[in-house]
Amino acid sequence: MNDTTAKKPDLSATTKGVGKLAWEETQTLNEGLSGVEIIGNFVKKLPNSPGVYRMFNKGGDVLYVGKARNLKKRVGSYAKMGGHTNRIARMILETVNMEFVTTHTETEALLLEANLIKRLRPRFNVLLRDDKSFPYIVITDDHPSPGVFKHRGARAKSRDYFGPFASAGSVNRTINAMQRVFLVRTCSDSVFESRSRPCLLYQIKRCSGPCTGEISVEAYGGLVQDAKRFLQGKSSDIQSQLSGQMQKASEALDFESAAMYRDRISALTQVQSHQGINPHTVDEADVFAIEQRGGLNCIQVFFFRTGQNWGNRSYFPRADKSLEPEEVLGAFIGQFYDDKPCPRLVLLSHEITDQQLLGEALSSRTGHKVAFNVPKRGEKRELVEHVATNSREALGRKLAETSTQKILLEGVRDAFNLPRIPKRIEVYDNSHIMGTNAVGGMIVAGEEGFIKNQYRKFNIKSEDLVPGDDYGMMREVLTRRFSRLVKEHGIPDQSQENDEASPDTANFPPWPDLLLIDGGLGQLNAVRGVMIELGLDGVVPLVGIAKGPDRDAGLEKFFIHGKPSFMLPQRDPVLYFVQRLRDEAHRFAIGTHRARRKKEMIKNPLDEISGIGPGRKRALLHHFGTAKAVSRAALTDLKAVDGISAQIAKTVYDHFNENG
């Protein structure tokens, strides 16, 4: 690939301050020119070759990423007056700079485009919002007694992986079924090696007990092979095999073994009945269907592997209302498979843009042929229609939730006399025990409910605080939060409303329209003091929520500076909504505090010693038993530990014997 760039630095570089001068020089050169004129100047220098282009606004933010078979012709279309949709016209108007990467083929350009869209999240592209990796089931064949586990991330060649599954819940249900049917272990290797007697799972017939030799290695290996066959879609063969074994045990009057086989058959039958649609003509496929309504898009995807339904997931990509379903679906699929394995068959509800090209691109990357198909009849068509029905239902639920949320936000505006409907509400709470492990939590809500990727936690760092000083903790949290906000985004212009804001991370407004504080007048005054110090008095509306007498829900008092305290009617939906916000902030702060406290409780003195990593720590603990015994050990004893050099032994000894 060749980089033909207008001196706009790569994003990874700008974060380090590299190339800033070149970008400012380019802005100066383009000053006073319209977007069409700027694009026209770039077109003159572009080659007639495939590639990817990026458009930037005056702030250096990426507006759009596109690919082209012919860069000169594609970008040239933007330099023509008229004939553009409102979305494209706005994009051209905001463009002050462009960057280009030429590629050898259009296939390369397509893959690079998908990668850049996911990484840069441009405002005018279709964006895949939920991009969590899919979970798999892994069988650890590199262990003498393999275990079955849930797995995300990189995969090792020495292990067998089955998936992807649509959700962690789908994996957990499958693993639970495998425990009941195949009695395979799910404990970690360290727990396995430390057992001296079988655990509770063995007692309740969820594990065969390979850790303590309750089953031979050969017999356990047979159970693991059956588990693999089950994940490969051969559950009917396994059921026949178990049925035969039950019959033999019964004839031999071994009724205990017969009962065990009966229970395993029952568990397997239950699994088969809960797998939903299991197609006969589709062994491995992903099925996509899109539904558009009310300005929203819902894309439903079902995963079929080894002839079994391994779950489904709904996505709500951000896309302009003017885009047709096939355009949204095509852009979505390109991003979807950017970092995920692709099956040999992908069934679609609509013919997508660049369908053949996308198939070729994914085939070249995965090493096997990938076919895209929009079935017209038969079982495959029935599958797509079923997925489309799920997509319509999911979108209907989303629209209902969004509509309800908007009504509640309008009620919040009226209840607290806000200048506009809040698009971003931030709620703060603290948690500690007698001042120890103090943390602050911030949760965020908007038009689509809780925006969890915007939550933040704050470990209280100030050493001057009196333990248990809630006001001081709140001052520290708000000072850190809004100092950074001013530094990164500047003080907002209160006369303008961000109509382009959306719950997507890239464009969700950074500044809150309402700040709720869990506490009464004292907490509110502490927060207001911070705002005055930072020059933000009056920029963000502040509301304090004091719990009612005996902490009764429904009797909360609300405090706003300059106004008398007030209460909302007990059955007011807005009151319930605010209670939910406060409870979520409390839950998040408590959870963060517990996690920090647990981490402190299990902290090991060896963790504080430089040069002692997990391996050396394990060696020391295996040799001496406890960290306390390590602290009392003589230097010669430390040197005798496998993997501990004389220098490391001296470091450990000196750490515990400062005066020695």
| 637 belongs to a structural domain | yes
Answer whether 291's CB lies under 8 Å from 391's CB.
Answer: yes
Domain limit, last residue, from 550, 575, 598: 598
Q: Are residues 210 and 87 in the same domain?
A: no
| pLDDT given for residue 348 in this prediction | 93
CA pseudo-torsion sign 201, 205, 206, 208: positive
Q: Are residues 642 and 580 in the same domain?
A: no
Cross-strand bridge partners of residue 267: none
| 408 belongs to a structural domain | no
The 3-state DSSP class for residue 142 equals coil
Q: Are residues 59 and 201 in the same domain?
A: no
DSSP string of 273-340, one letter each residue:
HTS----SS-SSEEEEEEEEETTEEEEEEEEEETTEEEEEEEE--B--TTS-HHHHHHHHHHHHTTSS
| pLDDT given for residue 444 in this prediction | 92
Q: How many helices (H) and strands (E) does the chain have?
A: 22, 19
For the stretch 90-103, pLDDT in tens is 888 888 888 888 88
| pLDDT given for residue 53 in this prediction | 92
Query: Which carries the bigger pLDDT value, residue 164 or residue 588?
Result: 588
For the stretch 528-545, pLDDT in tens is 999 999 888 888 999 998
Domain limit, last residue, from 598, 624, 643: 598
Domain limit, last residue, from 273, 304, 329: 273
Instruction: Please give the tally of structural domains in the chain.
Output: 5
The enclosing domain of 652 has a CATH number of 1.10.150.20
Query: In which band, very low, low, confident or very high, does the pLDDT at 13 lie, cut at 50, 70 and 90?
Result: very low
Among 125-129, 362-366, 526-530, top mean pLDDT goes to: 526-530
Answer whether 63's CB lies under 8 Å from 90's CB.
Answer: no
Q: Are residues 382 and 445 in the same domain?
A: no
Structural domain for 635, as ranges: 605-656
In this prediction, residues 348-352 reach a mean pLDDT of: 91
Q: Are residues 144 and 223 in the same domain?
A: yes
In this prediction, residues 374-385 reach a mean pLDDT of: 89
Q: What is the dihedral of CA 101, 105, 110, 114, to 10 degrees?
A: -50
Polymer length of the chain? 660
Q: Are residues 142 and 243 in the same domain?
A: yes
Query: In which band, very low, low, confident or very high, does the pLDDT at 374 lie, cut at 50, 70 and 90?
Result: very high
The Cα angle at residue 211 between residues 209 and 216, in degrees rounded to 5: 65
Answer whether 546's CB lies under 8 Å from 519's CB.
Answer: yes
**If you search the block for the tokens 């090209």, which residue do you land on?**
357
Q: Are residues 466 and 562 in the same domain?
A: yes
Query: In which band, very low, low, confident or very high, does the pLDDT at 264 lie, cut at 50, 70 and 90?
Result: low
Query: Which carries the bigger pLDDT value, residue 311 or residue 548?
Result: 311
DSSP 170: H
> Please, how many CA atoms are within 13 Å of residue 9, restricted to the half-sphere of its CB?
16
For the stretch 165-183, pLDDT in tens is 777 777 787 788 778 778 8
Supply the pTM of this predicted model. Answer: 0.61
Task: Average the pLDDT over each of 92-101, 215-224, 382-391, 608-617 and give the range with the smallest value.
Answer: 608-617
Task: Average the pLDDT over each of 194-203, 245-254, 326-335 and give the range with the smallest value.
Answer: 245-254
Answer whether 246's CB lies under 8 Å from 261's CB.
Answer: yes
| 85 belongs to a structural domain | yes
Q: Are residues 613 and 476 in the same domain?
A: no
| 182 belongs to a structural domain | yes
Query: In which band, very low, low, confident or very high, does the pLDDT at 54 lie, cut at 50, 70 and 90?
Result: very high
DSSP 82: S
| 511 belongs to a structural domain | yes
Query: Which carries the bigger pLDDT value, residue 119 or residue 506?
Result: 119
Q: Are residues 421 and 565 in the same domain?
A: yes
Residues 281-294 as b or e (16 or more Cβ within 10 Å = b): ebeebbbbbbbbee
Instruction: State yes or no: pLDDT of 394 exceeds 90.
Output: no
Q: What is the bridge-based pairing of β-strands 51-56 and 97-102?
A: antiparallel
Instruction: State yes or no: pLDDT of 290 exceeds 90.
Output: yes
The enclosing domain of 106 has a CATH number of 3.40.1440.10
In this prediction, residues 322-347 reach a mean pLDDT of: 86
| 499 belongs to a structural domain | no
| pLDDT given for residue 131 in this prediction | 59
| pLDDT given for residue 334 in this prediction | 86
Query: Which carries the bigger pLDDT value, residue 554 or residue 382?
Result: 382
Q: What is the bridge-based pairing of β-strands 2-5 and 436-446?
A: unpaired
| pLDDT given for residue 498 in this prediction | 47
Q: Are residues 86 and 181 in the same domain?
A: no
| 125 belongs to a structural domain | no
In this prediction, residues 594-615 reach a mean pLDDT of: 70
Q: Are residues 178 and 326 in the same domain?
A: no
Query: In which band, very low, low, confident or very high, does the pLDDT at 245 lie, cut at 50, 70 and 90?
Result: confident
| pLDDT given for residue 7 in this prediction | 38
The enclosing domain of 320 has a CATH number of 3.30.420
Tokens for 74? Answer: 């594609």
For the stretch 484-508, pLDDT in tens is 888 888 887 655 554 444 444 445 7
Answer whether 402's CB lies under 8 Å from 567's CB.
Answer: no
The rounded mean pLDDT for the chain is 79
Instruction: State yes or no: pLDDT of 289 exceeds 70.
Output: yes
Element (H, E) at 17: none
Query: In which band, very low, low, confident or very high, does the pLDDT at 651 lie, cut at 50, 70 and 90?
Result: confident
* Euclidean distance between CA atoms 69 and 52, whole angstroms: 9
Task: Average the pLDDT over each of 400-409, 499-508, 637-646 and give the range with the smallest value.
Answer: 499-508
| pLDDT given for residue 9 in this prediction | 35
| 368 belongs to a structural domain | yes
Q: Are residues 259 and 221 in the same domain?
A: yes
> Which CA distances in Å does 558 have to 144, 389, 524, 586?
63, 45, 10, 17
